[in-house]
């Protein structure tokens, strides 16, 4: 089968590779000059089934309202984006009810754990080097009640395969001595042993090269302007004077999937949520942090990479705005020192970045067919794109081939939204 994938981030490239592995003729179209240049470029660098909760947790509406006008809030809502979030926002908040939120969290967890299995197989198959570490992540707590609640949730999810250890303050410092300067602020931690670390951008570029060697064609610097419809099917994809045709078309363009699909009357409940990171150069042999640290109260993660230290955090509802406000960069600098007061980093060496995470209105990815016969999607992963990429790609490839997938595909189907949101209008 001839397949076109739009998007060469983590989701698009893993999808293309999975499809090619099943024998399909695959072409990838990407508007940037190379793979992984947008949301996949400088994320938190952790693969975290432990962080499977969507962002619309019970009570999240209070956090969002309190964030208006604050530049230091970990989750921030910009008033200017409210009109674009109207219908999506209502569904987002409706899914914050405790029972719905727990159901969606479990869907994400199952996909995340499956994805790590696929990822390990993929790494073994390709021998890609991307700085993989399987030491897990360390989530530290400064509040006793929050720690006890997290332990309860982790115990409940251990039945799904999430491995963890509850650590006392002393055990936490023993595992990660770099936290010793803030030991008196900590009540305990959870060591999520299932989690992994890896440079997402490096993986994306390496897999792109493997896919190319296997026969996948890549068209970079190619901006899709039009999806041409005829007789209720996609007829072709137009970019400038060029036209591309296929049997099946897959939209894996992250947040930009929504405006693309709107052209053909498909209303995708995915909106961009901006995240930031700051990457510091670390002198060779001077990396003091051994394991990624997630600070529960600060809603930030600090991750050790090869000769680098990256801090990532915040969820900002600000539309497609990709500016880097100085206030946000200062926040990230402050977060590093609140977690690692003695970190051997120089702010002058830091590289700031932001990206738009594609967030579905229920916090669960959308993978599979759309109401248009030959059009499929793979997007809506939010903060879990790196974690879920390999599994999402395999799930979509199995659906396309008619194979029995390893997960229940209805949990991630576009059809789950059609009862409350008209999916297709006149094109």
Asked whether the predicted pLDDT for residue 95 surpasses 70, the reply is yes
Local confidence band at 82 (pLDDT 50, 70, 90 cut-offs) = low
| The two three-digit tokens of residue 411, written as one number | 């949990």
pTM: 0.94
How would you class 253 by CB atoms within 10 Å of its CB: exposed for 0-12, middle for 13-18, buried for 19 or more?
A: buried
Q: Map tokens 């570490």 to a residue.
A: 133
Tens digits of residue pLDDT in 186-237: 999 999 999 999 999 999 999 999 999 999 999 999 999 999 999 889 999 9
Question: What pLDDT is stored for residue 182 in this prediction?
Answer: 97
b vs e for 39-48, b when ≥16 Cβ sit within 10 Å of the residue's Cβ? bbbbbbbbbb
Q: Map tokens 């801090």 to a residue.
A: 311
270 and 359 Cβ atoms separated by less than 8 Å: yes
Distance CA 288, CA 340 (A): 9
Question: What pLDDT is stored for residue 85 in this prediction?
Answer: 77
55 and 75 Cβ atoms separated by less than 8 Å: yes
For 72-134, list the strands marked E by DSSP.
75-77
Among the ranges given (62-66, 179-183, 230-234, 247-251), the one the predictor scored with the smallest mean pLDDT: 62-66
Tens digits of residue pLDDT in 32-49: 999 999 999 999 999 999
Among the ranges given (91-95, 98-102, 178-182), the one the predictor scored with the smallest mean pLDDT: 91-95
Question: What pLDDT is stored for residue 425 in this prediction?
Answer: 32
273 and 313 Cβ atoms separated by less than 8 Å: no
Q: Report residue 236: phi and psi, to 5°.
A: -165, 170
Asked whether the predicted pLDDT for residue 424 surpasses 50, the reply is no
Task: Give me the mean pLDDT over the 255-264 stretch.
Answer: 96
Task: Give me the mean pLDDT over the 296-304 stretch.
Answer: 93
Question: What pLDDT is stored for residue 67 in this prediction?
Answer: 53
Starting at the earlier edge strand, list the strands of the sheet with 226-230: 226-230, 233-239, 242-244
How would you class 126 by CB atoms within 10 Å of its CB: exposed for 0-12, middle for 13-18, buried for 19 or more?
A: middle
SS3 assignment, position 230:
strand
CA quadruple 120, 122, 123, 124: dihedral positive or negative?
A: positive
CA quadruple 257, 261, 263, 266: dihedral positive or negative?
A: negative
Asked whether the predicted pLDDT for residue 427 surpasses 50, the reply is no
27 and 216 Cβ atoms separated by less than 8 Å: yes
The size of the chain, in residues, is 427
Task: Give me the mean pLDDT over the 345-362 stretch.
Answer: 94
Tens digits of residue pLDDT in 261-296: 999 999 999 999 999 999 999 887 777 899 999 999
Question: What pLDDT is stored for residue 323 in this prediction?
Answer: 93
All structural domains of the chain, each given as residue ranges with its CATH number in brackets, are 2-136+194-417 (3.50.50.60)
Task: Give me the mean pLDDT over the 114-138 stretch.
Answer: 96
Question: What pLDDT is stored for residue 286 in this prediction?
Answer: 75
310 and 303 Cβ atoms separated by less than 8 Å: yes
H or E, element range at 92: helix 86-94
CA quadruple 378, 110, 74, 336: dihedral positive or negative?
A: negative
**Residue 380: which of 261, 260, 270, 273 has the closest Cα?**
270
Asked whether the predicted pLDDT for residue 24 surpasses 80, the reply is yes
Distance CA 30, CA 211 (A): 15
Question: What pLDDT is stored for residue 426 in this prediction?
Answer: 25
H or E, element range at 351: strand 351-360
As a whole-number percent, the residues of the chain with pLDDT over 90 amount to 81
Question: What pLDDT is stored for residue 231 in this prediction?
Answer: 87
Distance in angstroms between the alpha carbons of the first and the last residue of the chain: 26
Question: What pLDDT is stored for residue 44 in this prediction?
Answer: 94
Local confidence band at 76 (pLDDT 50, 70, 90 cut-offs) = low
Asked whether the predicted pLDDT for residue 107 surpasses 90, the reply is yes
Question: What pLDDT is stored for residue 269 in this prediction?
Answer: 96
* CB neighbours of residue 158 within 10 Å: 12
- 3-state percent helix, strand, coil for the chain, nearest multiple of 5: 40, 25, 35
- For the chain, give the mean pLDDT: 92
**Higher-pLDDT residue of 118, 419:** 118
Task: Give me the mean pLDDT over the 351-359 stretch.
Answer: 96
Question: What pLDDT is stored for residue 420 in this prediction?
Answer: 46
> What string of DSSP letters covers 279-307?
EEE--TT-----S-EEETTTTEEEEEETT
Distance CA 388, CA 257 (A): 17
* CB neighbours of residue 59 within 10 Å: 10
Q: What is each CA distance from 38 to 176, 227, 250, 275, in whole angstroms? A: 32, 22, 18, 11
Question: What pLDDT is stored for residue 71 in this prediction?
Answer: 60
SS3 assignment, position 4:
strand
SS3 assignment, position 204:
helix
**Higher-pLDDT residue of 181, 65:** 181
H or E, element range at 125: helix 98-126
**Residue 418: which of 408, 406, 410 has the closest Cα?**
410
**Residue 113: which of 416, 384, 422, 419 has the closest Cα?**
384
């Amino acid at each position: 089968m001839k397949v076109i994938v739009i998007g060469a981030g983590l989701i698009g490239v893993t999808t293309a590779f999975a499809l090619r592995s099943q024998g399909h003729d695959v072409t990838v179209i990407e508007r940037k000059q190379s793979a992984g240049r947008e949301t996949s470029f400088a994320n938190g660098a952790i693969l975290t089934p432990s962080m499977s909760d969507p962002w619309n947790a019970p009570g999240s509406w209070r956090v969002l309202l309190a964030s208006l006008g604050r530049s230091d809030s970990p989750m921030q809502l910009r008033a200017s984006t409210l009109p674009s979030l109207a219908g999506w926002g209502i569904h987002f908040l409706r899914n914050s009810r405790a029972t719905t939120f727990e159901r969606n969290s479990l869907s994400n967890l199952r996909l995340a754990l499956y994805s790590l299995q696929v990822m390990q197989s993929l790494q073994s198959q390709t021998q890609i080097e991307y700085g993989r570490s399987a030491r897990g992540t360390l989530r530290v707590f400064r509040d006793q009640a929050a720690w006890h609640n997290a332990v309860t949730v982790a115990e409940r999810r251990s039945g799904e395969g999430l491995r963890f250890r509850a650590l006392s303050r002393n055990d936490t410092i023993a595992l990660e001595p770099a936290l010793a300067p803030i030991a008196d602020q900590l009540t305990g931690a959870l060591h999520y042993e299932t989690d992994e670390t890896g440079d997402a951008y490096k993986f994306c570029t390496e897999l792109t090269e493997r896919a190319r060697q296997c026969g996948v064609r890549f068209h970079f610097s190619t901006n899709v302007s039009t999806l041409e419809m005829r007789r209720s099917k996609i007829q072709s994809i137009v970019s400038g004077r060029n036209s591309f045709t296929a049997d099946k078309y897959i939209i894996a363009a992250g947040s930009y999937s929504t405006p693309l699909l709107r052209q053909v009357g498909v209303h995708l409940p995915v909106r961009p949520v901006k995240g930031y990171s700051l990457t510091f150069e670390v002198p060779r042999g001077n990396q003091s942090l051994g394991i990624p640290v997630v600070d529960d109260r600060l809603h930030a993660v600090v991750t050790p990479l090869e000769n680098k230290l990256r801090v990532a955090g915040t969820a900002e509802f600000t539309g497609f705005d990709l500016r880097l406000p100085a206030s946000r960069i200062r926040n990230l600098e402050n977060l590093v020192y609140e977690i690692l007061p003695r970190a051997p980093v120089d702010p002058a060496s830091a590289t700031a970045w932001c990206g738009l995470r594609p967030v579905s209105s229920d916090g669960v990815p959308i993978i599979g067919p759309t109401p248009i016969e030959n059009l499929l999607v793979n997007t809506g992963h939010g903060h879990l794109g790196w974690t879920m990429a390999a599994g999402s790609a395999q799930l979509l490839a199995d659906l396309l081939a008619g194979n029995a997938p390893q997960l229940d595909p209805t949990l991630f189907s576009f059809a789950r939204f059609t009862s409350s949101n008209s999916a297709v209008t006149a094109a």
